Amino acid sequence: MQTVLSILLALIVFGVIIFVHEFGHFFTAKLFGIQVNEFSIGMGPKVFSWGKGETAYSLRVFPVGGFCAMEGEDGGELENPRAFNRKPKWQRCIVLVAGGFMNVVLGLVIMFGLTVSSDLFSTTIISGFRENSVSNTSVSGGDCLREGDEILKVNNTAAHVAMDLSFALSSDQDGIVDILVLRDGEEILLEGVTFNVAGEDGVTYTMIDFTVYGIDNTLSHLFDTRGVSIGTHLLNCVKSVGRAFAETWYSTCSVVRTIWVSLIDMFTGKYGLTDLSGPVGTTGAISQAAGMGLESLLLMAMFISVNLGIFNLLPFPALDGGRVVLLGVEAVRRKPLDPRIEAGINIAGLVILFGLIVVVTFSDIMKLF
């Protein structure tokens, strides 16, 4: 029963992420007076639909996507002044990028909610070392970390929040890194700091063996001054709001950076198709996160939403980013592309994407056995 509820919750979360994406297209299309013929969540046969007037709203069988079908979106419609392809290029560009943009905004909202509700804000100041740690010893003649060090950079990657540390260290493979720290008010470059490494599926990564300090989040005890004056408490609340915005921004940027690095690693061969997750794998990951609690579920939803937004903005045919590129080509040529050529490019992209989805979904299913 718990498994069924987790899967149902996963489908709801996935549906919300898709809805937000398609709503970005829908809202901006309506804003610019573009005729929207159908707004759908899901793909395949309709489960049911409703609505009167020009727009039909529908729910479809397969919860693997959705669409916002606009008049003239695929070319051919030249008479209707409200057709997509009759609108100025800058308006069409906004409509196309609005879906991915809304997914990133959703990710920011989720991350802000998680951050503002936590008891502590993260720092990059070392509070102690775990058992069997090696980064605090001079292994192989390299420098070492000390308690109280504030980590500023790891291998030239800036560290603003704890998530930056996690990204920078986990992406290192040999366990030997250069770290810029603030120690006793002085910036010091520690060269060759050594960490233990671990491996999984042929990929090695550096293990973090220290803990960091947290800063009290006054917003988590808004009505409890904890012995300080009202004025001081209010000032601490204002500071906490500022820290919440800063941590939300830096943490989301860290997630975006992780996604881009993962994409680059995939194209360079570090990861293969078996390391990707399709709808089945994503649903399973959300279900697993749901079983671990609300915070884990929301963090997973945040990661998937930002991931979807960025992926859709890639300059690949059939994706929103690919269609923006075609708009750019149209702007350079100063005349529309041949609708047949544009349709052929997008169809080719769709075939490749659906083929990728089939392969990855098959891989997801095989991982279950």
Query: 32-89, pLDDT tens digit by residue?
Result: 999 999 999 888 888 888 887 789 999 888 777 788 989 887 766 567 888 888 889 8
Give the tokens for residue 181.
């720290």
Phi and psi, residue 309, nearest 5°: -60, -45
Query: Residues with catalytic annotation?
Result: 22
Average pLDDT, the chain: 82
Mind spelling out the 3-state secondary structure of 174-185?
Answer: CCEEEEEEEECC
> What residues in the chain have per-residue pLDDT under 70?
1-4, 6, 75-78, 139-142, 200-203, 265-293, 350, 353-369
Q: Which of 286, 310, 322 is nearest to 105 (CA)?
A: 310
Q: CA angle, 17 as apex, 344 and 274 as ends, to 5°?
A: 65
Q: Tell me how far apart the alpha carbons of residues 133 and 155 are, in angstroms, rounded to a whole number.
A: 20
Q: In this predicted structure, what is the pLDDT of residue 108?
A: 93
Is residue 97 within 8 A of residue 325, CB to CB? The reply is: no
What element of type H or E holds 50?
Answer: strand 36-50
Which pTM does this prediction carry? Answer: 0.80
Give the burial class of 21: count Cβ atoms within 10 A of its Cβ; 0-12 exposed, 13-18 middle, 19 or more buried: buried
pLDDT of 368 reads 46
Tokens at 62, concatenated: 């397969």
Residue 299 CA to residue 307 CA, distance in Å, equals 12
CA atoms within 13 A on the CB side of 83: 13
